[in-house]
Structure 1
Amino acid sequence: MRMNRRAALAGGVAAATVGPGVLRAQTPVRLRQGVDALTATSDDVAAFGEAVRLMKRRNDRLSWANQTRIHHRQAQHNNSLFLPWHRQQLLHLEQIVARLTGHERFAMPYWDWQEHRYLPDWVTDRDSPLYERDRERGVETLDFAAARWAESPYTARLAADDFATFCGRQPRGMGMVEGYGHNHIHQLIGGAMKHPRTSAQDPMFWLHHSNVDRVWATWHGARGKDLYPPEWTAMTVSGFVDPDGREVGALPVGGTLETRPLGYDYDRLYPFPVFSVPQPGPPGATRRIPTGGRSWTMRAEAAGGGRMSLTLPDEAVARMRDADDTLVIAGEGAVAYASEAGLEDRSLEVRMTAGGRERSLGSSPTFVHLPDPGEGHRGHGGPYVLPFRFGEEVLNLLAAGDGPAAVTVFAEDLAPELGRPDARAAWMELTLTLTETRWT
């Protein structure tokens, strides 16, 4: 790839600001492409590799190690700032790559585990600067679309999720895109990727987060524009460095929502707008009109150990067992565990049990952000909160037997050879809404 050294010496990418921290769009807009369209010699791949090589030789604020520290100390997880914070870190790294290599149009490629399935060979080649030796053994040949966790239907519903379900909650509570699709890939790639304190050292971190950002861009186009709470858009994210190595001040979340004003776009948005199968109706019917319903809210506090359970109301279970296609089921819940080292290398398993059988309602490997000892962190602390949900897919389970139904969660130990005590459960809550409808 031919690098524009003159541009690099002259200052590379021009990224002016309009107002406090809102980046002005570059012309033309940089295009982030899927890894399937790129090879080891593609401009963006070559520039990324060259920048990683150069940054690993530095010991200043533009070093590769500093990007890892920034993510460890400053990144937002387990709350609604997860998406805007990571968008800004990725955007600032793109500007650093452009400056160091002279490739002014550099845009971070994205890796979509459902579409691309395998890691690109230009990150698994041991001679590539994008190779990371600290990854899970055998990951080079892993089919991610068929792997544990990555098959989950709970990643996101891009045409239906509301703000809190998709983006997360304040001050604690991750959204579906963070708790499932994001966490799945960190665990499956493994090694450095498993923990926030080291994950950004693997170049796959950046390709993965480019795709997470693409998922947000897809949801934003379908749902987000009118759903962002004003108090959320007024918040700020911080902790970044610019291409000159200077610390960047607090950036408003409201200036982070659109990609094109930030100077980039995607070659195509996420191809799976809904992760659930469309609900069938009577011939000629197109939608269901609500005619009534009822809602129940339940909460359980942990009684010690790592397992919690909520028993569903008998009345609700009886109605679901008698359901036809006019009943809409919406179960929205969350589970919380103590956010501590003992929760690392676990998988939170949420299941519904009835009649001696069970069905998964969510399976998520943990990604626990622990600050350095004695070091405070805005956005860290408090419980680790994972959402879960269910709908009509539980009807077959309920119809298979009589008796009570319950939702249970436990923290599976992914490193049982260590003989660790159980993770500490905190609480579990669920709102179950049954809506009577008619088809039209």
Structure 2
Amino acid sequence: MRMNRRAALAGGAAAAIVGTGVAGAQTPVRIRKGAGGLTAASEDVAAFGEAVRIMKRRRDALSWERQTQIHHRASQHNNGLFLPWHRHQLAHFERIVAKLTGHDAFAMPYWDWQEHRFLPEWMCDRDSPLYERERARGVETLDFAAARWAESPYTAKLASDGFETFCGKLPEGAGMVEGYGHNHIHQLIGGAMRHPRTSARDPMFWLHHSNVDRVWATWHRNRGKDLYPADWTALTVGGFVDAEGRDVADLPVGGTLETRPLGYDYDRLYPFPVFNVIEQGPPGATRRIPMGGQSWTLRADAARGGRISLTLPDDAVARMREADDTLMIAGEGAVAYARETALEDRSLEIRMTSGSRERTLGSSPTFVHIPEPGDGHHGHRGPYVLPFRFGEEVLNLLAASEGPAAVTVFAEDLAPELARADARAAWIELKLTLTETRWA
């Protein structure tokens, strides 16, 4: 089936012509739609399947294997270039699908695992080119919104996160959207999706990253427009091929901030804008006014093995134990592990412990890019760094315990049957700020 190039744009896509920013061409704005509202007969689904068939038969720059290798060799992970690199890859891939199928309005569907809790049925049809046999057992009936890692309260806060917290740091350090909203889907789908070197082989990769990109578009609307550092927007990302199969010169990060200049938009943005608990104070009070406070910057280096702990200052713990609702707590930290194959298929479990009690501060399966000779990376040589944070939710733990309190991290082995050596912890850092306030 070859689609009619002159078919009307599906789903109300805009007819305006804009520069794509990816290959210097002009294209109508394509509208990405939610996978849960589409069927196997939907134009974008049919075009995606047709393109996969075509690309798997090719042995040139437009082959399916080439797309897998682009991600394996050039993709950015665990740093502040994660979002712009994947936005460019997906935009180029959309144009390749449009070129190969003749469906000029093609836009990659997005799969929102919180709204549509199961994989789309048309991705699980064994007769479809969109089916990938190397997925986790039982994934076709898995409720992703109730699965492990899905209910983390430490997912990105789309209405309040700052730039580095959301996007990540350079040269190394994932943002919240990558560490907690991205990694676990790769691990739960399993098979090829578990590792950067193979993940683009599974068609679900593209639907998942379309939704990750939609999360960024939502944060950008809420917070991002004035938060991007100039030195970050001046960086470039590369490794892509265009719709003709030609290598694309490195592209500026600053050209990725808006979606419409890249030729696409979303039918609607992310419907879960913030995970914060609404503040509740005395009757008639609506906000807390800062009155002053104190901060501690802490760091501990690992001695050996896969577990590392950082003990909180005694005076900070004592103040938190006697706190009422006027004390604001902000803990922002990161933990680092050696970037090596022993870290693959692990889950970094971050806990606050005191006495015999503990509370999770984050839980994230690893998605580790192990560099190889010839990789198109300017980074990925340092450690694998995952952020974490906490606030007033730790007060109940501290109030119900005695003695020192610590943040402890360990790398749980998700494949214990392999009896592997421990992953190697490197360091843990934490900035803890206690702010005295009054309600007004």
Q: 1:53 to 1:376 in 2, by over 3 A?
A: closer
Alignment partners' CA distance in 1, 2:375 and 2:242:
24
- Code of the aligned partner of 2:257: L
Shift of 1:165: 0.3
Paired residue secondary structure (2:412): strand
Shift of 1:289: 1.0
2:421 maps to 421
Superposition RMSD on alpha carbons, in Å?
Answer: 1.8
Correspondence 1:49-198 to 2 at 5 A: 49-198=49-198
- Code of the aligned partner of 1:429: E
Shift of 1:379: 2.3
TM-score (norm 1): 0.95
Contact 1:32 1:108 in 2 (8 A): yes
Alignment partners' CA distance in 1, 2:262 and 2:171:
26
Shift of 1:376: 6.7
Paired residue secondary structure (2:385): strand
Shift of 1:14: 12
Q: 1:378 to 1:229 in 2, by over 3 A?
A: same
Q: 1:341 to 1:107 in 2, by over 3 A?
A: same
Alignment partners' CA distance in 1, 2:22 and 2:6:
27
Contact 2:306 2:411 in 1 (8 A): yes
The farther-off stretch of 112-121 and 281-290 is 281-290
Q: 1:290 to 1:229 in 2, by over 3 A?
A: same
Paired residue secondary structure (2:68): helix
Alignment partners' CA distance in 2, 1:248 and 1:14:
25
2:285 maps to 285
Contact 2:307 2:411 in 1 (8 A): yes
Shift of 1:377: 3.1
Shift of 1:317: 0.7
Q: 1:262 to 1:429 in 2, by over 3 A?
A: same
Shift of 1:438: 1.2
Correspondence 1:129-278 to 2 at 5 A: 129-278=129-278
1:400 maps to 400
The farther-off stretch of 243-252 and 270-279 is 270-279
- Please list the CA deviations of residues 153-203 of structure 1 after superposition, one character each: whole Å capped at 9, or x if unmatched: 112000110000000000010101101110010000000000000000000
Alignment partners' CA distance in 1, 2:34 and 2:16:
25
Contact 2:80 2:174 in 1 (8 A): yes
- Please list the CA deviations of residues 283-337 of structure 1 after superposition, one character each: whole Å capped at 9, or x if unmatched: 2222111110100010000101111001111111111111111111000000000
Contact 2:23 2:248 in 1 (8 A): no
Contact 1:305 1:424 in 2 (8 A): yes
- Please list the CA deviations of residues 264-289 of structure 1 after superposition, one character each: whole Å capped at 9, or x if unmatched: 11111111111122121222222111
- Code of the aligned partner of 2:292: G
Alignment partners' CA distance in 1, 2:408 and 2:352:
6
Shift of 1:245: 0.2
Alignment partners' CA distance in 1, 2:259 and 2:19:
15
- Code of the aligned partner of 1:263: G
- Please list the CA deviations of residues 224-265 of structure 1 after superposition, one character each: whole Å capped at 9, or x if unmatched: 001000000000010000000000001111110001111111
Shift of 1:21: 5.5
Paired residue secondary structure (1:116): coil
2:363 maps to 363
Alignment partners' CA distance in 1, 2:206 and 2:46:
15
Alignment partners' CA distance in 1, 2:310 and 2:59:
52
1:26 maps to 27
Alignment partners' CA distance in 1, 2:205 and 2:289:
44
Contact 1:309 1:409 in 2 (8 A): yes
2:303 maps to 303
Alignment partners' CA distance in 2, 1:98 and 1:128:
19
Alignment partners' CA distance in 1, 2:138 and 2:64:
25
Contact 2:301 2:428 in 1 (8 A): yes
- Code of the aligned partner of 1:125: D
Q: 1:408 to 1:429 in 2, by over 3 A?
A: same
Alignment partners' CA distance in 2, 1:240 and 1:17:
18
2:339 maps to 339
Contact 1:24 1:263 in 2 (8 A): no
**Number of matched residues?**
433
Structure 2 unaligned residues grouped into runs of 5+: 8-14
Paired residue secondary structure (2:182): helix
Contact 1:350 1:361 in 2 (8 A): yes
Alignment partners' CA distance in 2, 1:15 and 1:195:
37
Contact 1:25 1:260 in 2 (8 A): no
Contact 2:358 2:397 in 1 (8 A): yes
Paired residue secondary structure (2:299): strand
Shift of 1:5: 5.3
TM-score (norm 2): 0.95
Alignment partners' CA distance in 2, 1:16 and 1:245:
22
